[in-house]
Structure 1
Amino acid sequence: MAQHKKVLVSVINNISTDQRVEKVCNSLFKNGYEILIIGTNYNGMPPLNRPYFTQRFKLIFQKKFLLFAEFNCKLFVKLLFQSDKNTLLLANDLDTLLPNYLVSKIKKIPLVFDSHEIYSELPSIQGRFAQKVWRKLEKYLIPRVKHFYTVSEGYADFFEKKYGNRPLVIKNVPLLNIASCKEKKRTIDLPENTQNKKILLYQGAINSCRGIDKMIEAINFIENAQLWIIGNGPLKKDYEKLCIKLQVENKVYFFGEIPPKQLRQITPMADLGLSLEEDGGLSYRYALPNKLFDYIHAKIPILGTYLPEIKNIINENQIGEVISDHSAFEISEKIKFLISKGKKYYLTNLEKTSVKYNWEAQEIILLNIFHQASK
């Protein structure tokens, strides 16, 4: 067993819907590590039911820059006084890395870094002063991180080329035995579907460059279908207004955030999963979203974007179709084609792919990283 038993996990969200952090912490916890996740009240404080310790800072500021500053100051103090010689630090994304790095140096304790994305290349900060700040932090910190992993080979290639430090890849995939992670009773109200309309599903953040507005435009050209959008984000109200403008509000349903265990009941109900990210910079170009694998494990075919990581998963495993552009015509035609094929057509390949990409296999890599960090 590892010499270091306690892991302080930092993440700037409210913990409740971060499936990657939950899987990592569950894996470490069941292998003998004492876990404390430190998060925030950003977007609320939904109830948590975890077998390990959690703490969420009640932040005064909920806007980006002030939120980051407040959280990082509080996080630095928390880590400094909570850690000891038997502690490992786990920073999730660049926005938590600086205080973790400083405390790891002050206390001479190991630091592990999980980069969920290329933070300095996110669409929301393109061309802004904030991008220069994050790039400087990235340039200083990334080469100095010894124990480092990320979600896709594209991201790993970027970090290696840019900073000479190649992380290991731990894909954000579900457990193979995902059925055991479902709630027994569904508490989410679903739209009426007395006419057995086909259900098109998007799950994830409601941000720019996710292709959500293009999905909404495309639904106008598809008969006998509903679009379910599960998640939250800054553009939700804008997209709700777009539905009214295009007169598709009776075909598009916004669910808000749904706890992962409830979501695992709803995703398999869909006829098709959508992952239509646009090329909003390097972070999106090489993204490998967890929703892609959630769809696979729910045994629903996928309509995906032409971006390389997503395209490769779909084409190599023959589990759906890939759009060539983001026009409403292209998207609607591909959706019609997939609906005409039906879920059963893709079922065998989806079953094979779910066995190929599962958390149990990724967990082996994760535990080895923490074992090496504990030496």
Structure 2
Amino acid sequence: MNENLIVLMIVYNQIQYDARVIRAAETIANLGVKVKVISCNSDFQYKNEKFESVVFVSRAKHQGRLVHFWWQCLRYILKHRKNILLLYVHDYYMPLIGGLYYIFTKRKWVYDAHELIFYHKNDKVSCRNKFFLYLEKMFVKSASLVVTANEERRKLMSYVYKLKKTIYILNVASVKRDNIDQSSKRNVIVYQGYLSSERGVDFFINNHLQVDEKYTLKLIGGGPQLERYKARVNKLKLENRVVFTGLLNQKRLYEESQDSKIGIITYPLNDLNNYYCSPNKIFEYAKMKIPMIVTKQPFLMALIRKYHMGEVLDMEKGESEYKKIIDKIDSNYLYYIERMDDFLNDYSADRELEKLKVAILDILE
């Protein structure tokens, strides 16, 4: 293979925080192909021995930043089109770029649909979401492969768009499966992700008053409501029991989480994307031997109930339900821990990523 040829990946995100993109790039690089990943406003200090990180900087605000990023990507693609073996774009911001690449070159491209952006007929949907759904609908059929995050999403996208070539790759974390020293566990309840009311962060802060005082709530992530949450913690006089870390890269995320005793995985049930979510946190927590509290998404409930790795929380039942679950996990801690190996044996990052290798090799033949 010509060593000047590359697989070009594009993501409208900061690469150091996007584990799915990193795993995909590393997997394709392991095929012996040179991989470059274009991202937006990423940390220039981020390095990965498997692929080259190309950072486009945009100081524009709001929608202007995305439009500027699109323009930067199109210029780069047109300039280097002779060296692009395959274009691989991530998330719903990028089907426009994949589709235009196909129109200009008639070459193959891959769409990794991180999210499911369909909506029910009677749902209230913003103009923004309608716009991105329109772009996806317009261009997705020209993709040589569409990758989704679970089987339910794959079936939906295949049916709605009449797609011929689709696979799903679960967000199985590539965290090393170490022997966890249970004595190192601290009385920490950890939450990872976007800090918002939709995700139930208000619920967990407000109800932390009812939880045994030995527990600290650690909130890992960011969002526009961060300062409001800090003020709320101060008002409740929980400064010594609630910790905010801000956004963390993958290495620091693991370091900050691994000693926690309980992990929270929470999503709203207000749209198809969240209803059929497939978060990598369930795999990360299992590898770190952290029992989980999850909300009522089908994928999460099925795994928790099959493998007994935690408990399902119904927020509508209020603070008493939350406290009862924490007390139950606390009293039966080893019961949950001992069942995680069965789950990890059934769900392997290597097996999931092998599906991507096979699909990419098929395209490149």
TM-score (norm 1): 0.87
**Match for 1:8: what amino acid?**
L
Matched, 1:59 2:63: no
Q: Offset at 1:175? A: 2.4
Alignment-derived partner of residue 91 in structure 1: 89
Give the Cα separation in 1 of the matches to 2:322 and 2:86. 46
SS in 2 for 1:12: coil
Identity %: 23
Q: Offset at 1:159? A: 1.2
Alignment-derived partner of residue 165 in structure 1: 163
Alignment-derived partner of residue 214 in structure 1: 203
Change (3 A) 1:179 1:53: farther
Give the Cα separation in 2 of the matches to 1:295 and 1:5. 38
- 1:2 touches 1:374 (CA, 8 Å); kept in 2? no
Q: Which runs of 5+ in 2 are unaligned?
A: 180-184
- 1:204 touches 1:291 (CA, 8 Å); kept in 2? no
The correspondence of residues 196-215 of structure 1 with structure 2, limited to 5 A, is 198-215=187-204
Q: Offset at 1:142? A: 2.6
CA RMSD of aligned residues (A): 2.5
- 2:10 touches 2:39 (CA, 8 Å); kept in 1? yes
1:212-231 C-alpha deviation (Å, 9 max, x unpaired): 22111221110121011111
The correspondence of residues 46-125 of structure 1 with structure 2, limited to 5 A, is 47-51=45-49, 52-63=51-62, 65-84=63-82, 87-119=85-117
SS in 1 for 2:338: helix
Alignment-derived partner of residue 33 in structure 2: 33
Change (3 A) 1:272 1:263: same
Matched, 1:145 2:143: yes
Q: Which runs of 5+ in 1 are unaligned?
A: 181-195
- 1:2 touches 1:371 (CA, 8 Å); kept in 2? no
Give the Cα separation in 2 of the matches to 1:198 and 1:138. 44
**Match for 2:127: what amino acid?**
F
Correspondence for 1:135 among 133, 136, 160: 133
- 1:4 touches 1:87 (CA, 8 Å); kept in 2? no
Matched, 1:282 2:272: yes
Alignment-derived partner of residue 185 in structure 1: none
Change (3 A) 1:362 1:243: same
Aligned residue-pair number: 354
Correspondence for 1:246 among 233, 236, 245: 236
- 2:186 touches 2:260 (CA, 8 Å); kept in 1? no
Q: Offset at 1:147? A: 0.4
- 1:198 touches 1:226 (CA, 8 Å); kept in 2? yes
Q: Offset at 1:179? A: 5.0
TM-score (norm 2): 0.90
Change (3 A) 1:178 1:96: farther
Q: Offset at 1:135? A: 2.1
Matched, 1:334 2:325: yes
Alignment-derived partner of residue 154 in structure 2: 156
Give the Cα separation in 2 of the matches to 1:303 and 1:2. 50
Q: Comparing 203-212 with 219-228, which one deviates more in the overlay?
A: 203-212
